[in-house]
Amino acid sequence: MLKSLKPQKNRGVGGRFAIVASLYNSRYVDEMLRAAKTELKRAGAEIQVIRVPGAYEIPVVVTRLARTQKPALSAIICLGVILRGQTSHADHIGRAVSQALMEIQLAHEVPVIHEVLLLENEEQARVRCLDEKFNRGTEAAQTALAMSKVMAQNGLSIS
């Protein structure tokens, strides 16, 4: 069941965040990106946005960001939309991206927020990306801010 988003009290949290967003299916990704940026700006965060051609290209940029950013980023948000078609191609892309993002966050100890959505159809994309009550970009930013707090409060942040 899809839950509607609850407002978060993140004003003044700050931090440095990167968002890596796919250009493919831009109608949906652009709205997730807009929502994520709005939520991060509300928290006083510094934001770097990098656009890549498609979901499959997200992990290589995330790896470079996780490895080279000094001081380390508070979190990296990944945004993309993969729509299933008549072949299994979308499943292969979704699985590869998910596995890569998990490995990157473990290897580099930087929270990687995975909102590369593998969806059945455009209706699911409209609800999750265009509807303010369910926008996964807002949710991704809220998760990034929460993970930034967890890391800092427990002495887990790396500089």
The sheet that has 46-52: what strands, in order across it?
A: 46-52, 16-22, 75-83, 112-119
One-letter-per-residue 3-state SS of 95-149: HHHHHHHHHHHHHHCCCEEEEEEEECCHHHHHHHHHCCCCCHHHHHHHHHHHHHH
Helix, strand or coil for residue 78?
Answer: strand
The one catalytic residue in 89, 92, 108, 114 is: 89
> Is 92 one of the annotated active-site residues of the chain?
no
Partner residues linked to 117 by β-bridges: 81
Active site residues: 89
